[in-house]
Amino acid sequence: MYAWKVVRPGALSTGPLERVEMAVPEPGPGEIRVKVTVCGVCRTDLHIAEGDLAPHRPGVVPGHEVVGVVEARGPGSTRFAQGERVGIAWLRSTCGVCRFCRRDRENLCLNPGFTGWDADGGYAEFALVHQDYAYRLPGAFDDEDAAPLLCAGIIGYRALRRSNLPPGGRLGIYGFGGSAHLAAQVALAEGAEVHVGTRSPAAQRLALDLGASSAAHPAERPVKPLDAALLFAPSGDLIPVIMSALDRGGTLAVAGIHVTQPGSLDYRRDLFHEKTLTSVTANTRRDGEEFLDLAARIGLSIITQPYALRDADVALKDLAEGRVSGAAVLKA
C-alpha cells in the first residue's frame, strides 16, 4: 500500500512528509484492518509534521479522522462485521488501570496511545485499530462528512462542555476551522448566542451563514461580556484577550493540543471574579459516542474541502496558510 510518513519533522517547506510504499498491516488480537476511504486533516497532524509535538514514533503515518470499512479481523475481533463502516479517532488506547481510567477520565490516562502519533494513522490505504476504540458511524453522514466528526467534532464537543456554557448563554469562539464550525452548530442548536473571532474573511462569512450573531477580528471586543469561550486557534496571545472579554464566572476552554506561548494575564482584569481558564485534553470514548449521536439528531452541516490522498502535503500546506474553509479531507 502507499502512505504518507513524517520522516523528518520540520517546517513544511523542508518536506517533512514523504509518500512511501509499505506492507499492508496485519491485524493482531482484537484488532481490525480498515480500508480507508476518507481521512480528515487535523491541525494536530500539522503540529506533528512540523515538530511542534515531539515525535512519539519515528516515521509515523499521521491522520486520526479515519473513515473506512472493515477489511480484515484479527483473532478474537467480533465487535464489527466484515465490510462494516467504522471510524478511527485520536484516542487509540488506554491502560484501563491508572487512577484516571478508574475514575472514568480515560482522556487523562497515564499510558495512552494516539492514532497518527504513537501508531500509524489514516494517511494511507489501510489502517489498524483495536475494535474497542473504533466507532460506529451515523448513517446520516457520508464518508466525507463523517471524517471531521471523529476529532474536530468530538474535541469541539468536549471543549463546549468544558466551557460550562449556561443555557441561552453568550459563547465566544476564537478560530473558525474544522472544530469550531461544528461546535458552533451544537451551541446554536442548544440555544446559545454565538460570537466568532477570526482573522479570515471567508471564515467570518461561514460563521454568519451558520447562524452566529457576529463574526469579527479576534482583537475586537464583544459588545457584551461572554459567558463562555472556546479557543481553537493555536495563538496563545489571544488568551488574555479572551479572558478579559469574559463576564464574571465565565470559562475559557482552550481546545488545541498545542498553542504558542500565552500572553501575560492581568489578575484583576483577566482572572478575578471567579473566571476560569481550562484546557481540553483528548477525549473519552463516551464523549465520542455522545457527540456522534447528537450530530445525527441535530443534523450538523459539515463543510469540507476535499483533496486526493496523493495531495496530503498540499492539504497540510493549505491548512497552515489559512486556505481551508471548514475541514480538509483526504479521499483515497
**Does residue 196 share a domain with residue 97?**
no
Residue 292 lies in a domain: no
d(CA 180, CA 155): 10
Cell triple for 93: 488506547
* Total length of the chain: 332
- Name the domain count of the chain: 2
Which tens digit of pLDDT belongs to each residue from 170-211? Answer: 999 999 999 999 999 999 999 999 999 999 999 999 999 999
CB atoms within 10 A of CB 323: 14
**Does residue 192 share a domain with residue 117?**
no
Which tens digit of pLDDT belongs to each residue from 201-260? Answer: 999 999 999 999 999 999 999 999 999 999 999 999 999 999 999 999 999 999 989 999
What mean pLDDT comes out for the span 92-96?
98
Which tens digit of pLDDT belongs to each residue from 120-166? Answer: 999 999 999 999 999 999 999 999 999 999 999 999 999 999 999 99
For the chain, the average pLDDT equals: 96
Per-residue b or e along 118-150, where b marks 16 or more CB atoms closer than 10 Å to that residue's CB: ebbbbbbbbbbbbbebbbebbeebebbbbbbbb
**Does residue 236 share a domain with residue 212?**
yes
Q: Which of the four pLDDT bands, split at 50, 70 and 90, describes residue 263?
A: confident
**Does residue 165 share a domain with residue 218?**
yes
**Does residue 224 share a domain with residue 257?**
yes
Q: The domain that contains 323 carries what CATH number?
A: 3.90.180.10
**Does residue 84 share a domain with residue 52?**
yes
**Does residue 159 share a domain with residue 124?**
no
pLDDT of residue 325: 87
d(CA 61, CA 263): 33
- Which amino acid would we find at residue 282? A
Q: Say if residue 59's pLDDT is above 90.
A: yes
Which tens digit of pLDDT belongs to each residue from 8-32? Answer: 999 999 999 999 999 999 999 999 9
Residue 296 lies in a domain: no
Which tens digit of pLDDT belongs to each residue from 268-287? Answer: 988 999 999 999 999 999 99
Contact (Cβ atoms closer than 8 angstroms) between residue 171 and residue 229: yes
**Does residue 107 share a domain with residue 194?**
no
Residue 293 lies in a domain: no
pLDDT of residue 256: 87
Residue 180 lies in a domain: yes
**Does residue 162 share a domain with residue 126?**
no
27 torsion bin: left (phi>0), alpha (psi -120 to 50), beta (else): beta
**Does residue 256 share a domain with residue 317?**
no
Residue 291 lies in a domain: no
Residue 146 lies in a domain: no
**Does residue 183 share a domain with residue 60?**
no
Cell triple for 237: 496571545
pLDDT of residue 81: 98
Q: Considering only CA atoms, which of 104, 10, 1 is closest in space to residue 320?
A: 10
**Does residue 22 share a domain with residue 117?**
yes
User: Which domain range does residue 218 map to?
Assistant: 154-279
